[in-house]
Chains A and B, each alone.
Chain A
Amino acid sequence: MMPAMTVEPILRAKGVNKSFGALKVLFDVDFHVMPGEAVGVVGPNGAGKTTLFGALAGSFPVSSGAIQLGGRDLSGTSAAERCRLGLARTHQVPKPFLGMTVFENVHVAARAGAGMDQTRATAEAADILRRTGLMPLANRPAAALGLLDRKRLEVARALATQPNVILLDEIGGGLTEAELVALVDLIRSLQADGLTVVWIEHILHALLRVVTRLVCMAEGRVLAQGDPRDVMAHPEVQRAYLGSSPE
Chain B
Amino acid sequence: MTPAQTLPMAASDRRLLVLVGIVLLALVTLPWLGSALIVDKLIYLFILVMFAVMWNLLAGYAGLVSVGQQAFIGLGGYALVRLVEAGLPPFPTIFLAAALTGVVAWALSWFMLRMKAGEFAVATWVIAETIRSIVMFDPIVQGETGTSLLALNAYDPDLRRMVLYLLSLGSMVVMVGGTWVLLQRRIGAESQAIRDDEDAAASIGISTFQVKQRIYIIASVGCALAGALWLASAITFQPRTSFGVQWSVFMLFMVLVGGIGTFIGPILGALLFFALQEIFGDFGAWYLAGIGIVAILFALYLPRGLVGLWLDRGRDEPLSLRKRLRLRE
- Interface residue ranges, A against B (CB under 8 Å): 57, 59, 78-81, 83-84, 88-89, 91, 95-101, 103-104, 107-109, 111-114, 119, 122-123, 125-127, 129, 135-136, 138-139, 157-158, 160-161
Contact between B325 and A108 (Cβ–Cβ < 8 Å)?
no
Report the Cα distance A211→B97, complex, angstroms.
Answer: 61
Complex Cα spacing A122 to B261, Å: 22
Q: Are B203 and A100 in contact (CB under 8 A)?
A: no
Residue of A nearest to B4 (CB): A126
Hey, which chain B residues are within 8 Å of A107, CB to CB?
189, 323
Contact of A138 among B200, B207, B261, B325 (CB under 8 A): B325
With a 10 A CB-CB cut-off, give which of B202, B322, B324 has the most chain A CB atoms. B202
Choose one: A79, A136, A160; the contact of B202 (CB below 8 Å).
A79
Closest A-chain residue to B2, C-beta based?
A123
Assess A95 versus B186: contact at CB under 8 Å? Given A79-B203, A123-B4: no
Is B325 in contact with A111, judged by CB distance below 8 angstroms?
no
Bound Cα distance A88, B200 (Å): 11
Cβ B327 vs Cβ A158 within 8 A: no
Using Cβ atoms and an 8 Å threshold, which residues of chain A touch B261?
A: 99
Q: Establish whether residues A83 and B324, one from each chain, have CB atoms under 8 Å apart when the complex forms.
A: no
The answer to whether A122 touches B6 (Cβ under 8 A) is: yes
B199 contacts the other chain (Cβ, under 8 Å)?
yes
22 contacts between A and B (CB under 8 A): A78-B202, A78-B207, A95-B203, A96-B197, A97-B192, A99-B192, A100-B193, A101-B323, A108-B189, A109-B204, A112-B201, A112-B206, A114-B205, A122-B3, A122-B325, A126-B325, A135-B327, A135-B329, A136-B329, A138-B325, A139-B325, A161-B204
Pick the 4 closest A-B CB pairs, nearest first.
Answer: A126-B4, A113-B205, A95-B200, A83-B205
Asked if B196 is at the interface (CB within 8 A of a chain A CB), the reply is: yes
Question: Which residues of chain B are near A104, meaning CB under 8 Å?
Answer: 189, 192, 322-323
The number of residue pairs between A and B whose CB atoms lie closer than 8 Å in the complex comes to 117
CA gap between A122 and B324 in the complex, in Å: 10
B5 at the interface (CB under 8 A from A): yes
> What B residues does A122 contact at CB under 8 A?
3-6, 323, 325
Contacts of B129 in A (CB 8 A): none
- Contact between chains at A112 and B325 (CB < 8 Å): no
User: Of A84, A108, A126, A138, which contacts B193 at CB under 8 A?
Assistant: A108
Closest B residue by C-beta to A79? B202
Are A97 and B323 in contact (CB-based, < 8 A)? no
**How far does the alpha carbon of A127 sit from the alpha carbon of B329 in the complex, in Å?**
13
> Would you call A57 and B203 a contact (CB within 8 A)?
yes
For B322, the closest partner residue in chain A by CB is A101
> Do B323 and A83 touch across chains, with their CB atoms under 8 A apart?
no
Chain B residue, CB-CB nearest to A95: B200
B132 at the interface (CB under 8 A from A): no
Contact A83 B193, beta carbon cutoff 8 Å = no
Are B324 and A112 in contact, with the CB atoms below 8 A?
A: no
B196 cross-chain contacts in A, Cβ below 8 A: 96-100
Q: How far is the CA of A103 from the CA of B206 in the complex (A)?
A: 17
**B148 touches A (CB below 8 Å):** no
In the complex, which residues of chain A have a beta carbon less than 8 angstroms from the beta carbon of B199? 59, 79, 91, 95
CA of A122 to CA of B329 in the docked complex: distance in angstroms? 16
Min CB–CB distance A58 → chain B (angstroms): 8
Taken residue by residue from 292 to 329, chain B's Cβ proximity to chain A (1 for < 8 Å, 0 otherwise) reads as 00000000000000000000000000000011110101
A157 touches B204 (CB 8 A): yes
Contact (Cβ within 8 A) A95 B197: yes
Whether the pair B200, A91 counts as a contact (CB closer than 8 A) is: yes
| Nearest-neighbor residue (CB-CB) of B195 within chain A | A99
Q: Which residues of chain A come closer than 8 Å to B327, judged between CB atoms?
A: 135-136, 138-139
Residue of B nearest to A126 (CB): B4
Taking a contact as CB atoms under 8 Å apart, the answer to whether A108 and B202 are in contact is no
